[in-house]
Amino acid sequence: MSIQRTLDFCNKAYHTTKMYVQVSEKYIMKRIDHMQLMRTLPLSEHEGGNKKLTESCEEISQSIKEMYMDDKAEVIR
């Protein structure tokens, strides 16, 4: 493997790792906390909690896609 290919691989790995950490800190950990709180809700309130969680996951999915596209555009520059 050439030095340039190695550097390209390392650069991609760095950006992937950076993105994973950002997504985890900004989105995933908050949802895990939310799911743990839902376990303490009475059964009668689970449906509303599930609906809120699903809606927030859809919003997060879009935000992650946007974050990825921004990072990809930055890398291309």
pLDDT in tens, 48-72: 888 888 888 899 899 999 988 888 7
Of 76, 75, 77, the closest CA to residue 16 belongs to: 75
Instruction: Kindly give, in sequence order, each residue whose CB lies less than 8 Å from that of residue 9, ignoring residues fewer than 6 positions away.
Output: 1
Residue 62: per-residue pLDDT: 93
Domain boundaries, the chain: 3-76
Tokens of 15: 């950006």
Q: 3-state class of 58 per DSSP?
A: helix
The one-character DSSP state at 41 is: S
The one-character DSSP state at 11 is: H
Residue 21: per-residue pLDDT: 92
Helices (H), 25-77: 29-38, 46-76
pLDDT tens across 20-44, in order?
A: 999 999 888 888 887 788 788 788 8
